[in-house]
Amino acid sequence: MDEQHGIQQTKEALIFGVSLAMAVDEATQDGFSWTDIFKMVPALTKLPAAIEGIEEVPTELSDLSEAERTELIKEIENLEFVSEYSEAIAHQSLRVAVELGKLIAVIREAKKFQEAEE
């Protein structure tokens, strides 16, 4: 039997990604001005939790059960985005989260390499 890893980090990344995308969409509805940055603050407060364990997201997704998949879709719907697009939004947000995790890992590795060179 495969070990389940849970989906906590995935949920945090999903919530951040969708919250930020929704905030950016709202902020740019009538053109973007510097005051629109304040519309993004609630989403940005979720960033630390989202990136804290971002490297665990691919592992969590590798053994995603149907119940966990449904739970992630419900998280989208809890963000007041209930529609036939909920699953597509969850899927795209997770793709972004995984790529963000990879980018953070590369940046951390580059910093280590740079520090070792100094």
Q: What is the pLDDT of residue 2?
A: 43
Task: Assign 3-class secondary structure to 1-65.
Answer: CCCCCCCHHHHHHHHHHHHHHHHHHHHCECECCHHHHHHHHHHHCCHHHHHHCHHHHHHHHHCCC
Q: Indicate the pTM of the whole model.
A: 0.74
The answer to whether residue 20 scores a pLDDT higher than 70 is yes
The answer to whether residue 1 scores a pLDDT higher than 70 is no
The answer to whether residue 112 scores a pLDDT higher than 50 is yes
Q: What is the pLDDT of residues 88-110, one digit of tens each?
A: 888 888 888 778 778 888 898 89
CB 50 within 8 A of CB 13: yes
Residue spans of the domains in the chain: they are 8-117
